[in-house]
Structure 1
């Protein structure tokens, strides 16, 4: 609701758009719900990513359809000593003490971490080399070094889920079980021959990038959804007149309900200071201290008392608020130079169809 002084044009409409804090409090439930959904999605993706990372293709210890445990168990049953290695050093130690004619080294390197030039002349890694699903031409350094090289073109033929299809099992047993010791070597990033540290892309699982993109799109959609505005909220005059006393009582009840005693007292003070400045000829923009000094000079009241009542004192309870309100009214009455009317004629009753003026000289409030 707005109030306009008598004879003064209405002020510009006040913008009542909610602040950022109010928006955050109003949307707290949506934010909490979105956060829960986002965290649940992250946990689900992490679990899926961990499950896939725990069983890489042709894992010698995995019983999943993509593992190679079935083949290696069959080879052990045929008397082949099977050893697994994930680094070049471990592979060299696995072949230690064995004759080159007794060793088969199976290398499965789908990520390309190992450079075969490093093992072409490696005396610590003797025996036959079996490359599983290599890049075409990558075996050339081994052939040039005179190594015995065999190639399995499809890794899926050795997996648990397809080892029993067709002749896969027989061919695999004949190839890997021809010698007494089999070293199942799956190079890791530790065998990288680039000579440079691993990058974030090398160390990050493949599901991280889609997750980041999904999170970014979710943030953009949420910003567009919650950030749009239909225009600022403004105060509009209603086509009815409201008594100033009703507006005064309504605001007073709000202050009382929220125990805002200081706000209620400040409202009385601001009205009194404005009227005192006008009556003493100081103008509506006069500082409060200037008004206090002029009131003290006009009434003879102690300047400290005037400052305490009009500016400094703070009510601690309802009794203090009532006392300070009465002192504000007393100071305003003492500073009023207008004579008190002596006529005993009854005052005319205000017309309810028109705006009723309040005792502070303001017109009726409009809602």
Structure 2
């Protein structure tokens, strides 16, 4: 009785071990799936942030990329100009309040007409970078876009001192001036620089994407023009609108606002159903089955398996090639030819030995292609007949007395 208990425990231990191993494998599989999901989510978040940075990188004063404007900011600071970067219109308005400053502003489609005009009026100078039709109409008395200039450098051609000191530039976008607006750098159908100066307030418009970004600032007179337009006062407020910076009521509608109310619950339900189906129908691996190696497979089984594959694929040409390869090997041994003998040499040697037509023998061993199963069977019979004839010719049977 005392010796039976250890025996029973020892017998139960091996049975329990595979079950624990299987549970550990299943748990490890779910952990691996969770890790992969987290990694994919992290990579997606990184890519989304990178793409968002790329969208905001153009003319960004804190961006060192090719489309950024950090080089202009550094030059302004080297000249003793204070540069304040504002990411929303409220901060920009507060930085301009009571200051003799220059407002540098790209196009701001998310702001209302009143907000755009209020920002420009709060600065002593306003430099518009790549403005669109609305901003030109509001701040430059009816000016409008005129396409793009030519690739050739253009001289100032105006009385604006800042442009004349800067020298020639290669224009990007060009504009048509409105009433009372000075126009410089004629190119194509418009001018690359518009300036409206009342003495107490000045507004300039220029294509900063083509002239003031990091990769093109050193070309021609671009850097000089940027410093002349932006560095007239001791402070520059560079307004770079951030995501969601708007004063319009409601803002842009989101995807959830544009879809019916039942879409979101339906998506959640489909996701839950997909996960449940994966858990329900997913393949579950059991414990490994021990198999003694090496495994011996009979040659007849391999031959029959290949034959079934050829028959299922209806590949009569491939099957004929296998029959011919075997027949050529046997004929080469019967005729005393070496392993380097080609199929044509074996066929010619067999024809000479039998005094048959060489073309007929080559047709059997090389040239003829069976089009169907019946032709394949006929070729097999002809190969067998040829092989038997060569065997009789090489090793004729001796008559016994």
TM value normalised by structure 1: 0.41
Structure with the higher strand share, 1 or 2: 2
TM value normalised by structure 2: 0.38
Structure with the higher helix share, 1 or 2: 2
